[in-house]
Chain A
Amino acid sequence: MGIFKRFFDKLKYTFKRTELNDDFYDELESILVSSDMGVEQALDIMDELRITCKKKLIKDTENAQNELKQILIDRLDAEEVEFNYPLIITVVGVNGVGKTTSIAKMTKFFQNKKKSVLLAAGDTFRAAATEQLSNWADKLKVKIVKQGEGADSASVVFDAITSMKAKNYDVLIVDTAGRLHTKTNLMKELEKINNIVNREYPEAQKLNLIVLDASIGQNSIAQVKAFKDTVNIDGIVLTKLDGTAKGGVVYPIINELQVPIIFTGFGEKVDDLDVFDKTSFVEKILM
């Protein structure tokens, strides 16, 4: 417990100090790095804070904290994504980040907007993945297009788009098999799904969303990079923010890869999804 207690004591006192000395910046670094944003980002943000404080002649920690908050918010700036219908969302990500649960939540989100939603069970790889999504579909009273385990996921997607067009659904959400981004054959399958979506419904808006688990560290950067090399990635769904994880790894992702966060997930219930809010995200990091 030693490390842990010391850590929280630090957080508490950092902003109670009055002087902007080295201790202040050291402790600041610990807060930033502990959010998983990486050393490079943390040092860069601290440099920016130093310069800002110097420029604005800020000498006390309280004002410095406000400046820091603003810097952290500004760094989350990214192009906003608008939803147009018909809309096809393909959900990708590595194993265990919460893809299926996020799909259920997004379904509810669009239902709340009075949109009709169709699901495609494109994870034909993991045992019982289709059952898991079917369970959600039953609960949410939406239709799901599925085939058996081991079926060709691209053909599931093809069926789903046919059905979407025939019955004028507003939104199609496609589940895909979780894959470590280092598995090239599974990444190729994703490319195939993407090609089918583009070919079969050119007039629909398409979004590829990557689901990231807030408790994962620097590897999330590699994940987004690898998926981005294969298909276009339009946004992030950041899950599991109901724990103590802060998800600071999105800083280098937004900064280097320009992929915006669209939704945040914070629980297992279908309503536990928010449209990304920069201010509350930053407040959690500084909490």
Chain B
Amino acid sequence: MALFSSLSERLNHIFSKMTKHGKLTALEIKEAMREIRVALLEADVNFSVAKDFIAKVSELAVGEEILKSLTPTQQVIKIVRDNLIELMGGENQKLNVSPKPPTVIMMCGLQGSGKTTMCGKLALKLKKEGKKPLLVACDIYRPAAIDQLKVLGKSIQIDVFERGTQNPVKTCKEAVAYAEKFSLDTVIIDTAGRLQIDEKLMQELKEIKRAINPTEILLVIDAMIGQEAVAVSTAFNDALDVSGVVLTKIDGDTRGGAALSIRSVIGKPIKFVGVGEKLTDIEPFYPDRMASRILGMGDVLTLIDKAQEAMDEKTAKEMERKFKENSFDLNDYIEQVNSLKKMGGLKSVLSMMPGISGKLKQIEDQIDEKKLERNKAIIQSMTPKERANPDIINGSRRQRIAKGAGVEVSDVNLLIKQFNQSKEMMKMMKNPKAYGGKMAMIRKLMGN
């Protein structure tokens, strides 16, 4: 997997040979764009879409002043990223609501794109927002698809309307009438998955549309889709004039270039993304985050969002000061563990870091979230005085702490040792020269 670092490195390489700053030249742009094109294609952006995009961005970039604050590499990536964001729709777009209830949402897409699960997620989300949704099971082809929706509906206490394998057009009409009768304000229709070249089944969708005139027709697409994204979205849009797109399975490690392909070919907004297996795992689509992801830059923005939620600014500033003055104590350590937990745990944080997501599996075994919890228990068994000044923790104090936390004395020893080591590390980072320069420092850290 090509990571952001590798794209930056390749671009740096190009510019190091040529640029004396000033303006970006046509030749430099051409070479840089070649790398960007590869990055886009590796992210599954459609071949033709990538080509058009590169042509457009090249034009914009030639002659552009290099901002003083940026290197040429950063400058080019910024131009590319800004344009990706713009192309994918700028701001996030909300769901349309019908002035006269019920709002009817029709979900369609290929087999296996995750429609049924997404219907459940959307229903739960709307229910939480105070709506009264009704789920309608119209997949009469896949064995047990209706059962699947019924099980989902039951788990979130939302009614599922079904008429077995009756003609879906008829079922939809009856469902809308049912919703009107019982004052349910939102109807979500789960249609069967189908290939865009299956004329008979595409006709069925058109008939459903004509019969009930949905407020929203959402095309559900697997974020991992490849070059096909263009053919699929074009065909569905030609047949149904869809109102938006939902990208599913974005919780994997796909770069999701499909988002760009779909958006630039059919010009319809991506409204939601599916981010996990649980029914609460649905989020609005953020073009800026997607742009970073396509370029392999990691989901830093989501990470920043989560960090802001977990830690208020004042605490963060205080923490920074303590790091600088090296007055970081065990109380602060607990604070850190708590914020980390609020952000979804260490694994979730790491998975959003640029350059790490692909390697997460390898380092996962080394992360032990339980150990963090155990350390927390140990620290909580200390007196405030001990936490602020761990040096006073002698043998008998250690025994008392171990007992209080339900661990061995050796665990307490280990924690204090690790804490002292990290303090040492912080000292070194502040002044690498005093420790024989950066390399010596790295060697020392590796040896530990």
Residues of A whose CB lies within 8 Å of any CB of B are 1, 3-4, 6-7, 30, 33-36, 38-39, 94-98, 126-129, 131-132, 134-136, 149, 180-184, 213, 215-220, 222, 226, 229, 240, 242-246, 249, 268
Q: How far is the CA of A220 from the CA of B1 in the complex (A)?
A: 12
Do A219 and B251 have beta carbons less than 8 Å apart?
no
0 or 1 for each of B344-364: is its CB under 8 Å from A? (1 = yes):
000000010000001011001
Contact with A along B242-258 (1 / 0, CB 8 A): 00000001011111011
B: residues with CB less than 8 A from A are: 1, 38, 41-44, 46-49, 52, 110-114, 141-145, 147-148, 150-152, 155, 195-197, 222, 224-228, 230-232, 234, 238, 249, 251-255, 257-258, 265, 277, 351, 358, 360-361, 364
**Chain A: which residue is nearest B251 at the CB level?**
A180
Whether the pair A218, B44 counts as a contact (CB closer than 8 A) is: yes
Given contacts A98-B111, A243-B197, contact A217 B230 (CB under 8 A): no
Give, as a whole number of angstroms, the nearest-CB distance from A261 to chain B. 16
Known: A182-B252, A268-B141. A217 touches B226 (CB 8 A): yes
**Which of A3, A135, A181 is the one whose CB lies under 8 Å from B265?**
A3
Whether the pair A243, B143 counts as a contact (CB closer than 8 A) is no
Q: Closest residue to A36 on the B side, CB-wise?
A: B226
Q: Which residues of B contact A182 (CB under 8 A)?
A: 251-253, 351, 360-361
Closest Cβ neighbor of A184 among chain B residues: B364
- The smallest beta-carbon distance between B25 and chain A, in angstroms, is 23
Minimum C-beta distance from A119 to chain B (A): 13
A39-B38, A215-B110, A226-B361 given as contacts; is B252 within 8 A of A128 (CB)?
no
Please determine whether A38 and B41 come into contact, CB atoms closer than 8 angstroms.
yes
Q: List 4 additional A-B contacts (Cβ < 8 Å) besides A180-B251, A243-B228.
A: A7-B47, A96-B114, A229-B361, A268-B141
* Chain A to chain B: the 10 pairs with minimum beta-carbon distance, closest first: A217-B226, A96-B112, A217-B44, A135-B143, A127-B151, A132-B144, A128-B148, A131-B144, A128-B147, A36-B226
Q: Is the pair A4, B231 in contact by a Cβ cutoff of 8 Å?
A: yes
CA of A244 to CA of B2, assembled, Å:
27
Say which residue of A97, A98, A132 sits within 8 Å of B143 (CB atoms): A132
Q: Which of B41, B226, B277 contacts A215 (CB 8 A)?
A: B226
Chain B hits for A7, CB < 8 A? 47-48
Could you list 9 examples of A-B contacts with CB < 8 Å? A3-B46, A4-B230, A95-B112, A95-B277, A97-B112, A218-B226, A226-B361, A243-B196, A244-B228
- The answer on a CB contact under 8 Å between A180 and B252 is yes
